[in-house]
Chain A
């Protein structure tokens, strides 16, 4: 039996290669994502470990890599020497970390794009916990004078700078556009910087740039004396700390950083993993289908084997062994391909400024094991149903001319399917009426039920679509068109199963399309309603910028009212509370923006706050409630809620007064500046003048209402296209499924094709016939998928109607999808059509 199985494998190698390809691609994507994620976290681990000293003294409530606002608290050189004098301390290096500094290249463009941050600090000569210097000089020398600077060598390369060049930067304050001389480049100990740009000053240089020339430090790096543990070091340091500061062990810093980064990396990995899983599932569908067809074509042979005495179990086993071998081979190839794919992903992310060292993209045992488990398991599970069907072939089938198709079981399946569809619909609709738990989750369960059921009963559901295809084809392409339609209809199960793979991809694409369109149209509504400023000045990456910009903007002629706003992270409750984003608005904010107030007011006095309805619901706040916010350095505020607003694009969830912010020791910067024109001022003239002010700052731009809307839409669309790109893989795999089915069908109909050729079907007509059948399958998949996607997109939008206030239907995109489906059908048919048209007519007729 085993030998028979292996012979079968070889005899059908083309088919198996094709179906294996589906698994190869799925596994490649999966292992690629795993390898990439591993490389990503490896890169950051190295960075964190390579840059963390034995202990750090820093303002209470700050976290490296966290998103805490920079504190204005500093320590004095005296504090540092007190620390240095401790017997437990081998070295205490005062460090000056700055924010708001950006490196420009020769053309005035931001180095590093909008992704990775620019980190500026002084060269304090600290060593990390492993006793290695954090930075190693590569070229030139360390900066000594205030106007001198050193770059990490990648940043220097990206900016096109060499030692001795004048380097352009945007300073956080004062004269914003400056040039500094590059005196050296350095390598970062952690390997790479993941794309971050390092700008290193001398200590006086950093103090001048970030602390207004005060001889002070923002934090202190401690190196333990020989034999002193991190814990003892910290305990000792705590005895001499100035107010508002705390000491933490290097290990804690590493843990916290890994947590913070891990969350961010986790989002990326999970996001990619979702698409990998979709790809694998689609691949599984194709395996089911291929094996079903192979088993059907072998019915006679299997029956003969049974008649000769093979047990059911042996027959099932032989099909499963075939699947096992296929799965093993496919997974092996897939994992190898995954390595290449991980490189591709890394290159893609480099475009976004996230630089992952190629050396960290390696196969780990975990990746290998997981890929094999998934690849082989999916293949086996997918082959199980066809294998069972194979075992059910009765020995007498060997003697019968042809097997009667099992109409009855199709009807029963359709009936059960209809019931499950109703159930799914009920669950999904229940999601709209505030069920316990998450609304969207209910709808999600309904959607998964529907997708699986529709795939299972696609044979029945597809019928009307195929009938329409047939009559359209017939009208457009005559008899070959009609024959194509008939062929698509003759084995509805096969056509349906093949189309299902494509259906999954298109269902997701359309669902995402509906959500994105709704998001866009909701944003449009919000902008129309709430964008009451004439201009908004913001930085491209939402990084805050120097208040100096606002100072200049304020004096542009034609500016009537100007309001400043700073977004920052604070902790809700005590220092250990959960981190949350808040907005601090000045008192002119409410004069520009007419927010949709539910209760109370939005004009703020110091000590007051207004919050969004969501935040109010979440924290059970009403007008009059009080809550506590903690800031780096230990400062706290306990504002009173004076207003609750509807969700807003321009305000935050929690909004406090800008005056309060200054009093708690947070470094003032602006995140957004809103401008209302003075009476009679010409908008175009003023915009030009405003643009001139921010011209030296490529990170900041002036937007009117349309620009603002476009920039928000741009972000939505960027994400949308990225998702489409990732779903494209699922569609490619579905195409392989179509190629496979068509190939098998052509093989099966050899005699019929020969007859058609004999009585006058030209090669061209034959190719067209195969192509149209393929198009019919693709269109069926697209139509089923789009209907599913639309239905669930609309339901999901309804469930999320708090955020997605308006429903958008991407009708134009749906038409494009349909066109793409037709193109996909045509492409999938190329190989089978050519093979069919090359059939030797005589051989075809002679086939027994």
Chain B
């Protein structure tokens, strides 16, 4: 029992999120129940507008669900006020967004250490070194974001997400703006963080190649979990996506 609980880094129970009301009502999430296992690299996939980002935001304490429960590291998010939520994000959650991840006035190093310094915590130097070496940024630490390439910027964002040793890292299309080489570097790094450091990572992606780096793929459509795959490879992912696509087509017909 205890083992099972610790094995779940975050979970949702019957999560609903509705925008608007009446005719313009949009059910972004329509009853999502999902466990995200610790030490796993999970991909969330689905057509545009299927609710992937909404799900992430609800799990990451950035958005409040209309109903249902979101639990991170054993804490029910609905019980926390804004300050506690902020602290939770700072200490137990790491983020990588698609773009605009960094504060332009701070150096790479300062950006990486930002969650820690906001909390007034000292970085664990050894861990910092490990992370920096893993993303290969040692010689770029003094640079400002405007002096870094897009791929380097995303690597800085990844390093920042990991440096506070969060319980779970959420990445919303982290490679969406990158070429395949840079994407590969980022994905390899996330993979390594799961394998070597035991990190839990959840990533939204549209890219079957990216999904193939993961341990598990969850498919969303119309705000619901419709399918999932364990230890996927690229072909499997593409098949499933095609199936989803045609299901959607049939629905339209």
Interface residues of A (CB under 8 A from B): 478-480, 482-483, 486-487, 489-490, 751-752, 755-765, 841-842, 845
8 extra interface residue pairs, beta carbon distance < 8 Å, beyond A486-B106, A751-B100, A841-B62 = A478-B120, A482-B110, A755-B102, A760-B89, A760-B90, A760-B115, A760-B118, A763-B83
- Chain B contact patch, size range: 20 to 34
User: Is the C-beta of B103 less than 8 angstroms from some C-beta in chain A?
Assistant: yes
B177 to chain A, nearest CB (A): 12
User: Counting CB contacts under 8 A, is B216 at the interface?
Assistant: no
Complex: chain A residue closest to B60, CB-CB = A758
**In whole Å, how far is A87's beta carbon from the nearest beta carbon of chain B?**
94
CA distance A654 to B86 in the complex (A): 78
B140 in the interface (beta carbon within 8 A): no
Pairwise interchain contact A759-B104, C-beta atoms closer than 8 A: no
Q: A490-B105, A758-B62, A842-B57 are in contact. Are A763 and B82 (CB under 8 A)?
A: yes
Q: List chain B positions with a Cβ less than 8 A from chain A.
A: 57, 60, 62-63, 82-83, 86-87, 89-91, 95, 97, 100-106, 110, 114-115, 117-120, 160
- Min Cβ gap A734→B in Å is 25
- Nearest-CB residue, chain A, relative to B164: A760
B86 in contact with A757 (CB, 8 Å):
yes
Q: Contacts A752-B104, A760-B90; is A478 near B115 (CB within 8 Å)?
A: no
Which residues of chain A are near B87, meaning CB under 8 Å? 760, 762
Q: Which residues of B contact A490 (CB under 8 A)?
A: 104-105
- Known contacts A755-B101, A763-B82, A478 near B117 by CB under 8 Å: yes
B118 engages A755 (CB within 8 Å): no
* Assembly CA distance A577 to B152 (angstroms): 87
Task: Closest B residue to A841 by CB, please name it.
Answer: B62
What is the CA–CA distance of A487 and B62 in the complex, to the nearest angstrom? Answer: 25
A764 and B90 in contact (CB under 8 A), knowing A490-B104, A751-B100? Answer: no
> Do the beta carbons of B63 and A755 come within 8 Å of each other?
no
Residues of B within 8 A of A764 (CB): 83
Write the chain A residue with the least CB distance to B90: A760
- Chain A facing B: main interface SS: helix
Contacts of B63 in A (CB 8 A): 842
- A-chain residues with CB within 8 Å of residue B60 when the two chains form the complex: 758
Are A760 and B82 touching (Cβ within 8 A)? no
List 23 interface pairs A-B (beta carbons < 8 Å), by A numbering.
A478-B118, A479-B117, A480-B118, A486-B106, A751-B100, A755-B100, A755-B103, A758-B62, A758-B95, A758-B97, A759-B160, A760-B87, A760-B114, A760-B118, A760-B119, A761-B118, A762-B83, A762-B86, A763-B82, A763-B83, A765-B118, A841-B62, A845-B62
The answer for the CA separation of A597 and B57 in the assembled complex, in Å, is 88
Whether the pair A479, B104 counts as a contact (CB closer than 8 A) is no
Least distance between B20 CB and chain A CB atoms (Å): 15
Indicate if the CB atoms of A759 and B95 lie closer than 8 Å.
Answer: yes
Minimal beta-carbon separation of A353 from chain B (angstroms):
57
In the complex, the answer to whether A755 meets B115 with C-beta atoms within 8 Å is: no
Inter-subunit contact A756/B62 (CB<8 Å) = no
B62 touches A489 (CB 8 A): no
Which of B57, B103, B160 has most chain A Cβ within 10 Å?
A: B103
Question: Given A758-B95, A759-B160: A487 and B105 within 8 A (CB)?
Answer: yes
Establish whether residues A752 and B117, one from each chain, have CB atoms under 8 Å apart when the complex forms: no
Q: Are B105 and A759 within 8 A (Cβ)?
A: no
Structural contact, B106 and A759, CB atoms closer than 8 A? no
Most central of A483, A489, A751 by chain B CB within 10 Å:
A483
A756 contact set on B, CB distance < 8 A: 103, 114
- Which residues of A sit under 8 angstroms from B115, Cβ to Cβ? 759-760
Question: Which of B86, B97, B103 is A483 in contact with, Cβ under 8 Å?
Answer: B103
Give chain A residues whose Cβ lies under 8 Å from the Cβ of B97: 755, 758, 845
Tell me the bound Cα distance from A603 to B63 in angstroms: 93
For the complex of A and B, the 6 pairs showing the least CB-CB separation, nearest first, are A760-B90, A486-B105, A479-B117, A762-B86, A760-B115, A760-B118
Alpha-carbon distance between A755 and B62 when the two chains are bound, in angstroms: 11
Q: Are A759 and B114 in contact (CB under 8 A)?
A: yes
Give Cα A755 to B119, complex, Å.
15
- B83: min CB distance to chain A, Å: 5
